[in-house]
């Protein structure tokens, strides 16, 4: 069989792990679904093309940067505020006492609700279909306005949060489409991309260093293959027995186990449609050695292919 081997570089990248929000964490290498998504985007495929992916690479360091977090809530308002009709001051409200202006002590006041974040409508099950702001962050509303809007609007809160990023990432990716007639299409998409290539976030530009169609076969290498100690790989668990780690001798006792998303099917659950992911159990490892006595997938240049 044949594969497209792609080598690329990213100055910064973040491959977000699921269920990390306030402090977004990143995988050390892009998961299969992220790479498959990039391939489909570059090729402008409108339906899923089955493919196996092998991912190896390294990065220099990790860093953190700030982003604006958007958080939805059903609680429309926070504290109540006292608005003085005499001096126009806005002060806090003590529920245990008669409302009074803390600036001029006037009792000619109105108690209003302070909006938490902003109110927005048009939220659908597939995301924000149409948005329209009713109140901005910190705005005040009456009790009557609150009752009118609470069933039609939701609350959106903006705030700073941290995101983990990788610095100077180098990747070698093998793409093995099930339909081998797509090899040239995928190769051309990387050589002459219709949109700028990105991997991870939309802004994580990828500089393509090499694109090559290579033969891939399961065979024993002519001699032991020692991968660079700084290079890591996702190794599918079914391949673990074929690989040796320097310093351990036992693959099962080293590395980090991940369950990576690869592809999904749309299924109806309740009243909505949701993605049901097909995941792959892999081991993230470094210090990899391929023995000349073992049979593994190798490309024509003796690069190991950990396809899943």
Residue 131: the pLDDT is 43
% of residues, the chain, pLDDT over 70: 80
Residue 260: the pLDDT is 95
Best CA proximity match to 280, nearest among 229, 246, 231, 240: 240
Long-range contacts of 156-159 (CB under 8 A, 24+ apart): 156/70, 156/71, 156/72, 156/73, 156/117, 156/118, 156/119, 156/120, 157/69, 157/70, 157/71, 157/72, 157/73, 157/116, 157/117, 157/118, 158/68, 158/69, 158/70, 158/117, 158/118, 159/68, 159/69, 159/71
Rounded distance between C-alpha atoms, residue 97 and residue 257, angstroms:
58
Phi-psi region of 245 (alpha: psi -120 to 50; beta: other; left: phi over 0): beta
Best CA proximity match to 53, nearest among 26, 34, 74, 27: 34
DSSP structural state of residue 16:
B
Are 56 and 66 spatial neighbours (Cβ–Cβ below 8 Å)?
A: no
Q: CB burial class (10 A; 0-12, 13-18, 19+) of residue 214? A: middle
Distances 289 to 150, 265, 294 between C-alpha atoms, Å? 61, 36, 10
Q: Domains of the chain by range and CATH?
A: 2-68+163-299 (3.30.70), 77-152 (no CATH)
- Say whether 263 sits in a helix, a strand or coil: strand
Q: What's the whole-model pTM score?
A: 0.75
Residue 214: the pLDDT is 97
Q: Which two tokens stand for residue 33?
A: 């679904």
Rounded distance between C-alpha atoms, residue 204 and residue 307, angstroms:
24
Best CA proximity match to 55, nearest among 188, 169, 165, 167: 169
- How confident is the prediction along the chain (308 residues), in pLDDT tens digits per residue? 999 999 999 999 999 998 776 678 999 999 999 999 999 999 999 999 999 999 999 999 999 888 777 666 666 666 788 888 888 888 888 776 788 888 888 888 888 877 766 665 544 433 433 444 555 656 777 777 777 666 666 666 667 788 899 999 999 999 999 999 999 999 999 999 999 999 999 999 999 999 999 999 999 888 888 888 899 999 998 887 766 555 444 544 478 899 999 998 888 877 778 888 899 999 999 888 888 888 889 999 999 999 99
Rounded distance between C-alpha atoms, residue 151 and residue 11, angstroms:
46
- Say whether 241 sits in a helix, a strand or coil: helix
Best CA proximity match to 281, nearest among 232, 248, 252, 238: 238
Question: Any bridge partners for residue 247, and if so which?
Answer: none
Are 197 and 8 spatial neighbours (Cβ–Cβ below 8 Å)?
A: yes
Q: How far is CA 308 from the centre of its chain?
A: 20
Rounded distance between C-alpha atoms, residue 124 and residue 45, angstroms:
26
The tens digit of pLDDT for each residue in 49-103 reads 999 999 999 999 999 888 777 666 666 666 788 888 888 888 888 776 788 888 8
Residue 292: the pLDDT is 84
Are 261 and 218 spatial neighbours (Cβ–Cβ below 8 Å)?
A: no
Q: Which two tokens stand for residue 59?
A: 């990065």
Q: Which two tokens stand for residue 31?
A: 């998961």
């Amino acid at each position: 069989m044949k594969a497209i081997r792609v080598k690329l570089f990213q100055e910064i990248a973040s491959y977000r792990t699921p269920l990390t929000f306030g402090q977004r964490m990143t995988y050390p290498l892009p998961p299969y679904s992220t790479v498959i998504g990039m391939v489909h985007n570059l090729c402008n495929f409108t339906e899923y093309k089955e493919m196996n992916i092998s991912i190896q690479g390294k990065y220099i360091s990790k860093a953190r940067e700030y982003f604006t977090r958007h958080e939805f809530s059903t609680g429309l308002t926070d504290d109540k505020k006292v608005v003085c009709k005499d001096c126009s001051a806005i002060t806090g409200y003590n529920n245990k006492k008669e409302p009074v202006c803390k600036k001029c002590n006037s009792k000619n006041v109105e108690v209003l609700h302070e909006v938490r974040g902003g109110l927005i409508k048009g939220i659908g099950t597939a995301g924000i279909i149409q948005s329209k702001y009713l109140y901005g962050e910190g705005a005040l509303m009456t009790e009557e306005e609150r009752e009118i809007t609470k069933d039609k609007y939701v609350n959106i809160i903006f705030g700073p949060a941290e995101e983990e990023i990788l610095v100077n990432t180098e990747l070698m990716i093998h793409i093995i489409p099930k339909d081998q007639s797509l090899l040239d299409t995928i190769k051309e998409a990387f050589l002459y991309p219709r949109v700028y290539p990105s991997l991870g976030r939309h802004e994580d530009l990828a500089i393509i260093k090499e694109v090559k169609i290579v033969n891939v076969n399961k065979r024993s290498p002519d001699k032991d293959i020692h991968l660079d100690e700084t290079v890591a790989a996702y190794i599918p668990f079914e391949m673990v027995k074929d690989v040796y780690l320097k310093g351990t001798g036992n693959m099962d006792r080293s590395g980090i186990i991940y369950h990576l998303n690869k592809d999904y099917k749309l299924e109806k659950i309740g009243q909505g449609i949701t993605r049901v992911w097909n995941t792959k159990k892999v081991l993230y490892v470094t210090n990899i050695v391929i023995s000349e006595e073992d049979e593994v997938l190798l490309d024509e240049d003796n690069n190991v292919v950990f396809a899943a």
